[in-house]
């Protein structure tokens, strides 16, 4: 099976992890051992942010970001429903109410018009997701947020290396949250990062990361243990160096696949919004005339031929059993996308021959369902 994503781990990552084990420094009680510090510096430089705070998952990053920008019980946070569940669960963990809104069917990212319709006096923040590694249209959302006194969190978990208006994604948000989960464009196994240009928010984030401690055993606010271990940071430093090559290969594979699939009837190919660079975390297509059953049959048939097609995401969050209580009516474009999309492998381990094979199989199977 050609997997939808696969960690690209080599001898350098193994050596980096072994060196940490030999050093005896596995973690740091206040959250920033020597490897974590270096990883934060290099990552901040990569995304052109003033501060980077390394943590142990993208979910932790989102949770802390919400708390650090001041989200609390009784607040409302507006977000898309067409995303990974962590985007929503962390809003509830922070004590706030998630308000789900629809997407733009072209980009699958949050629709500004939809956000504007649900704003209330209780709205505190908007979470924007760069789904599939395709940058959301942040500038108009930033302008709206400034006008209404709202904070903007960018869930960039899938968007390492993506650019918006010529800058790394995250530039227009108050905080950007990243994941280094094993499937991501770069990985530390599990792990996450928060980047921000706001020094005060960064300081709060560092405190929350490690039990609210600035000094050991003297907590000054309510915190967690969201620390990143040194081994992960050492692996992350190597992965970050390799990221430009990973991204170039993803782009090359995506472009080849687009050339193969262009012209196949009823397929909507992934878009790269004008002025943006995708990270190509997922190459997602939509079968425009499909219902859920037809889409699922195509995915099953592809998998039978050894192509690890996957659906991201088959159930929008507002339709998941736990989250239905937050549902406020139909999200037409979100629900349609969840029935019609599926993703294909373009990760750096996919060869040119495999891209040819994937393109041929998709063209054939889409026609025959
Ligand atoms: C859009 C999105 N948000 C949040 C997360 C959560 O990240 P993690 O798995 O590192 O907790 C992920 C990844 O899994 C994601 O894809």
- Please give the share of the chain, as a percent, with pLDDT higher than 70: 100
- How do residues 235-247 score in pLDDT, each as one tens digit? 999 999 999 999 9
Between the CA of 38 and the centroid of ligand 1 the distance, in Å, is 23
CB 123 near ligand 1, within 6 Å: no
Could you tell me the distance, in angstroms and rounded to a whole number, from the CA of residue 75 to the centre of ligand 1?
23
**What is the C-alpha end-to-end distance of the chain, expressed in Å?**
22
pLDDT at 7 exceeding the cut of 90: yes
User: Is domain 11-239 in CATH 3.30.565.10, yes or no?
Assistant: no
Q: Which of 175, 286, 193, 277 is nearest to 232 (CA)?
A: 193
- Average pLDDT taken over every residue of the chain: 97
Q: Where in the sequence of the chain do the CATH 3.40.640.10 domains occur? A: 11-239
Is residue 133 in contact with ligand 1, taking CB distance under 6 Å?
A: no
Burial (CB count within 10 angstroms: exposed 0-12, middle 13-18, buried 19+), residue 321 = exposed
pLDDT confidence of residue 273: 87
Q: What is the DSSP string of 64-90?
A: HHHHHTT--TT-EEEEESSS-THHHHH
Share of the chain above pLDDT 90, in %: 97
Residue 205, Cβ density class (10 Å: 0-12 exposed, 13-18 middle, ≥19 buried):
buried
CA distance 77 to 125: 5
Q: What would the two tokens of residue 59 be?
A: 């979910």
**Mean pLDDT in residue range 126-142:** 97
Q: Is 75:122 a contact under the CB 8 Å cutoff?
A: yes
Pocket test for ligand 1, best of 54, 157, 178, 190 (most atoms within 8 A of CB): 157
> In the chain, which residues fall in CATH 3.90.1150.10?
243-367
Tell me which CATH code domain 243-367 carries: 3.90.1150.10
What pLDDT shows up at residue 140?
97
Sorting pLDDT into bands at 50, 70 and 90, what band is 368?
Answer: confident
Lowest-confidence pick of 23-32, 56-65, 237-246: 23-32
pLDDT tens-place string over residues 140-157 = 999 999 999 999 999 999
The sheet carrying 283-287 orders its strands as: 267-268, 283-287, 341-344
Please write the tens of the pLDDT for every residue from 343-367. 999 999 999 999 999 999 999 999 8
Q: What is the mean pLDDT of residues 225-234?
A: 98
Asked whether 155 lines ligand 1 (CB < 6 A), one says: yes
Query: Of 343, 270, 275, which is closest to residue 137 (Cα–Cα)?
Result: 275
């Amino acid at each position: 099976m050609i997997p939808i994503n696969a960690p690209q781990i080599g001898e350098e990552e193994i050596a980096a992890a072994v060196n940490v084990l030999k050093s005896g420094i596995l973690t740091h009680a206040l959250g920033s051992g020597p490897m974590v510090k270096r990883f934060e510096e290099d990552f901040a430089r990569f995304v052109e942010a003033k501060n980077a705070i390394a943590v142990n998952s993208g979910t932790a990053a989102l949770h802390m970001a919400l708390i650090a920008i001041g989200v609390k019980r009784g607040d409302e946070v507006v977000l898309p429903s067409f995303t990974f569940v962590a985007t929503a669960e962390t809003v509830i963990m922070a004590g706030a109410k998630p308000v789900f809104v629809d997407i733009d069917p072209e980009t699958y990212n949050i629709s500004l018009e939809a956000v504007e319709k649900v704003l209330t006096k209780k709205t505190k923040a908007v979470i924007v997701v760069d789904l599939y590694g395709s940058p959301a249209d942040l500038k108009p959302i930033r302008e709206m947020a400034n006008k209404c006194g709202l904070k903007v969190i960018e869930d960039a978990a899938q968007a390492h290396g993506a650019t918006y208006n010529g800058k790394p994604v995250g530039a227009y948000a108050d905080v950007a949250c990243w994941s280094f989960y094993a499937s991501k464009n770069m990985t530390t196994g599990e792990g996450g990062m928060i980047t921000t240009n706001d020094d005060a928010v960064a300081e709060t984030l560092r405190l929350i990361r490690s039990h609210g401690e600035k000094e050991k055993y003297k907590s000054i606010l309510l915190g967690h243990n969201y620390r990143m271990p040194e081994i992960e940071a050492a692996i992350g430093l190597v992965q970050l160096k390799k990221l430009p090559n990973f991204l170039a290969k993803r782009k090359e594979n995506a472009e080849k696949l687009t050339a193969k699939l262009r012209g196949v009837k009823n397929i909507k190919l992934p878009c790269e919004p004008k002025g943006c660079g995708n990270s190509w975390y997922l190459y997602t297509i939509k079968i425009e005339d499909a219902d859920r059953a037809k889409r699922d049959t195509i995915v099953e048939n592809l998998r039978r031929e050894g192509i690890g097609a996957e659906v991201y995401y088959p159930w929008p969050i507002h339709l998941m059993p736990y989250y239905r209580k937050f549902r406020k009516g139909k999200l037409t474009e979100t629900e349609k996308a969840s029935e019609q999309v599926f993703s294909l492998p373009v990760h750096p381990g996919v060869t040119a021959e495999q891209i040819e094979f994937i393109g041929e199989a998709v063209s054939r199977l889409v026609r025959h369902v």
